[in-house]
């Protein structure tokens, strides 16, 4: 997956149906400094790769754009996953790192292009069902294409 935005879940107040995200309460995850706007619960990611990558070569294994939901603990069951799907209907995948990395990058004045492998369905804790090799293979193909694009953008072949 090549993410278009990262959203934080679990930072705020309450649990379950009573949960209220930090941004909804007016809190920012990062404070404005040096002209950088404060970050609330969602960070837009750099989309150059989504726009430039040749889709025909990767369409069978890659989601181009979409929301990554970053959580402090992965969904442990189908019920957990469904609760999050209701709150974040546009999220395509769940992870534990993307929002924090995007926040650190943003606060330091940079931007982030996110490439994630997806090995299992949200809430599936049965390792026998996971397709780690296929996920790593998809990431490898996207990275190879991205390196080629970055090189051509900078005069390398």
pLDDT in tens, 14-51: 887 788 989 899 888 776 666 777 788 999 999 888 88
* Cβ count near 73 (within 10 Å): 9
Q: Which residue segments constitute the domains of the chain, with CATH numbers given?
A: 2-153 (3.40.50.1580)
Per-residue pLDDT tens over the stretch 61-90? 677 888 999 998 888 888 888 988 998 999
Beta bridge partners of 93: 68
pTM, two decimals, is 0.84
Which H helix or E strand runs over 3? strand 2-3
CA distance readout (Å), 138 to 49, 59, 73, 123, 144:
15, 10, 25, 21, 10
């Amino acid at each position: 997956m090549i993410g278009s935005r990262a959203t934080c879940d679990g930072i705020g107040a309450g649990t379950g149906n009573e949960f209220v995200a930090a941004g909804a309460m007016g809190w920012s995850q990062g404070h404005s400094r040096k002209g950088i706007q404060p970050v609330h619960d969602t960070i837009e990611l750099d989309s150059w790769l989504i726009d430039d990558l040749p889709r025909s070569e990767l369409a069978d294994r890659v989601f181009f754009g979409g929301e990554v939901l970053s959580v402090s603990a992965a969904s442990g069951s189908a019920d957990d996953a469904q609760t999050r799907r209701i709150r974040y209907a546009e999220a395509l995948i769940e992870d534990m790192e993307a929002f924090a990395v995007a926040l650190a990058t943003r606060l330091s004045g940079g931007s982030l292009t996110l490439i994630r492998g997806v090995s299992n369905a949200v809430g599936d804790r049965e390792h026998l069902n996971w397709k780690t090799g296929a996920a790593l293979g998809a990431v490898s193909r996207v990275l190879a294409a991205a390196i080629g694009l970055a090189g051509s953008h900078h005069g390398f072949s």
